Structure 1
């Protein structure tokens, strides 16, 4: 193997080892999760919203067919 090829292999190995060393955990615990965003969940009122949407769709369709 020529000396120039050994330099390339040594350079590539140096870069790869630095990536592996950088990927190691630092030992500190992860930061706490952020609080959930404020707002009202729509899970409780989903059936009501679906009924309102269906009624709205029927009214719009009826108005468009009368023209």
Structure 2
């Protein structure tokens, strides 16, 4: 059986190149994503805002009525 030098080189190259993948490290895992920001309550002050705007509206309406009564 005649051994061809090209086959030996190819066999050694495949052996040594495949050995690199055995010892290869995958590396550290990717960093985790930051948690999403906490949800902001949309209904926290709506009732207070509604009451204040209603009071302000009544105040402005009475002010306009008083000005009209005073000018008559």
TM bucket (normalised to shorter chain) is 0.3 to 0.5
TM-score normalised by the chain length of structure 2:
0.36
TM-score normalised by the chain length of structure 1:
0.38
- Tell me which structure has the larger Cα radius of gyration: 2
